[in-house]
A = this chain, B = another copy of it.
Amino acid sequence: MTLDTQRTDHDADNGFSLVPVLAALTRARADWRAAHHRATTPGGRELPAPETVERIVAGLRGALFPMRLGPSDLRQESEQLYVGHTLDVVLRDLVEQVVLELGGRPNDADPAQRAEIRGRAHALVRDFAQYLPTIRTQLDQDVLAAHGADPAARSVDEVLLCYPGLAAMIHHRIAHRLYRLGAPLIARMISEAAHRATGIDIHPGATIGAGFFIDHGTGVVIGETTVIGDGVRLFQAVTLGAKSFPTDALGRALKGHPRHPIVEDDVVIYAGATVLGRVTLGKGAVIGGNVWLTESVPPGAHVTQAGLTRGPRPGPGTD
């Protein structure tokens, strides 16, 4: 490789040499790999690629809602062909990404291990594909919930095409299924794609019931072990988080340990409210804007900044 031993064109043009920069970068990579026991043998990428995962999700969105989120020039008479072809392509791509997540590095694994990993990846993607019609039906319910709840929503199509809360839920319902089927890294890539686009950060592990609606959404955080019932409504900047006790004598929280809220059916949580820890918000409770809550709340309760009340006056929110 001439790059390490000769001046490059760059050097001639720019009056400085890249050679020491490249050598120092190579050392930094080698240090990292040595410290983290990484392969240093020749071979391809070892990890799923976020841009490939985003392309897969774009295809799934089109396949789920072909005439509204598919290609602009799609005609209804070609819908079936488009959906079939798109799924065929993106599910193959998904198999390859799952193989990478499951640890399949084609070049250095032994053939039996490679075949075993590939078989698990196929089974995972098959189970995922069979769940897609359920995801479509769930998302239809989310669209209806948003339309019913927001006085500014003009049509169900406006909700599907424009609302960031819906975009986040398309990603989440796909990501959650992959998380449960055993592909948590790909799932996290999908949820972070939604986070980038919407400012809504739902961990793929969160369990969310039917007819869920997030309005505006920027700054919403929903943690890994959150459980949300049916007909729940959130506004922007709501946090459903964990309590952290960084100086606790027992050390770090166990990974996967239930540490986020349980939100029962028909709860409404207004903008900026923060609910922390494994507390339960009872069915139909209303949590007012900017409330800070670390205790459970009974069904039907109305909580405002001034404290807990029962009665017809909920905390204010926004639409």
Contacts and interface: CB of A to CB of B under 8 A. Distances in A.
A47 interface: yes
A77 interface: yes
Contact of A152 (B24, B224, B316): B224
Nearest to A133: B24
A96 B255 CA distance: 48
Contact of A319 (B45, B195, B241, B314): B241
A122 interface: yes
A154 B14 contact: no
> Interface centre among A20, A44, A79, A92, by most B CB within 10 Å?
A44
Interface residues of A, number: 135
Contacts of A95: 14
Contact of A25 (B45, B63, B199, B205): B63
Interface string A178-212: 00000011001100100111110101010000000
Given A15-B126, A129-B21, A158-B188, A203 B152 contact: yes
Given A18-B84, A218-B195, A219-B219, A154 B241 contact: no
22 contacts: A3-B84, A9-B88, A10-B91, A14-B122, A18-B87, A22-B87, A25-B136, A28-B140, A31-B137, A39-B76, A44-B76, A151-B257, A152-B223, A161-B189, A223-B318, A244-B316, A245-B314, A247-B314, A272-B274, A276-B316, A289-B292, A294-B316
Interface of A: 1, 3-4, 8-10, 13-16, 18, 20-22, 24-29, 31-32, 36, 39-52, 63-64, 66-68, 72-77, 79-81, 83-84, 87-88, 91-92, 95, 122, 125-126, 129-130, 132-133, 136-137, 140, 151-152, 154-158, 161-164, 184-185, 188-189, 192, 195-199, 201, 203, 205, 216, 218-219, 221, 223-224, 236-237, 239, 241-248, 252-255, 257, 259, 268, 270-272, 274, 276-277, 286, 289-290, 292, 294, 305, 312-314, 316-319
